[in-house]
Amino acid sequence: MPENQNPEQSTEIHLFTDGGCSGNPGPGGWGFILRSLATGKEIERSGGSPHTTNNQMELEAVIQGLCTLTSSCKVKIFTDSTYVGKGISEWLPGWKARDWQRREGNRLVPIKNQEHWQRLDQELERHEVTYIKVKGHSDHPENDRADELAVAAYQKYL
């Protein structure tokens, strides 16, 4: 086993996430379900903010889910957010190489939600992550539940 690999990294986890806002920006919420495939144990959590954006809440759901894990794991992230998925699977290496900037025409500009992406990047370093795109509001039970958690979290601010 490689020196930097934790023996617990073979633990497989499914992380179902969603985030949203009432208005964009507006009051927002995030929710997640964390499921251990080995034990079947699940954890649900949610939270919110009085003034945020949909994308920030989508990111926060993933960040909070990964932060909940106490050791390195194989994590499959199920999200309906193309923004989060493409960020994880395509954009993140380029942003980091360009000091958290993206190309806009002929110039570099700071990425949006940099603080969230940096926090997510720290969590991604701890785990072996796979992104799986889920169609939102399509009778996917865990995605629907994560959405319910997010909506209930932001309704506290309405």
Name which of 7-16, 72-81, 92-101, 138-147 the model is least confident about. Answer: 7-16
Q: Look up 44 and say whether it is catalytic.
A: no
Number of domains, the chain:
1
Can you give the CATH number for the domain in which 146 is found? 3.30.420.10
pTM reported for the whole predicted model = 0.91
Q: Look up 147 and say whether it is catalytic.
A: yes
Which residue in the block uniquely carries the two structure tokens 């996917």? 140
**2 in a domain, yes or no?**
no
Q: Phi and psi dihedrals of 25, rounded to 5?
A: -80, 165
Q: Look up 137 and say whether it is catalytic.
A: yes
- Express each pLDDT in 48-74 by its tens digit: 999 999 999 999 999 999 999 999 999
**60 in a domain, yes or no?**
yes
Q: Look up 80 and say whether it is catalytic.
A: yes
**1 in a domain, yes or no?**
no
Q: Look up 144 and say whether it is catalytic.
A: no
Q: Look up 58 and say whether it is catalytic.
A: yes
Asked if 47 and 60 count as a contact pair (C-beta separation under 8 A), the reply is yes
**84 in a domain, yes or no?**
yes
Q: Which two tokens stand for residue 59?
A: 């990111």
Q: Which of 28, 29, 80, 142 is catalytic?
A: 80
Alpha carbons 50 and 29: distance in angstroms, whole number: 9
**88 in a domain, yes or no?**
yes
Q: Which of 58, 60, 123, 142 is catalytic?
A: 58
Give the CA distances from residue 38 to residues 11, 13, 43, 74, 127, in Å, rounded to whole numbers and listed in that order. 7, 8, 14, 12, 17
Q: Which of 14, 19, 87, 127 is catalytic?
A: 19
Q: Which of 14, 18, 31, 65 is catalytic?
A: 18
Domain that holds residue 101: 7-155
**71 in a domain, yes or no?**
yes
Alpha carbons 108 and 116: distance in angstroms, whole number: 19
- Express each pLDDT in 86-125 by its tens digit: 999 999 999 999 999 999 999 999 999 999 999 999 999 9
**92 in a domain, yes or no?**
yes
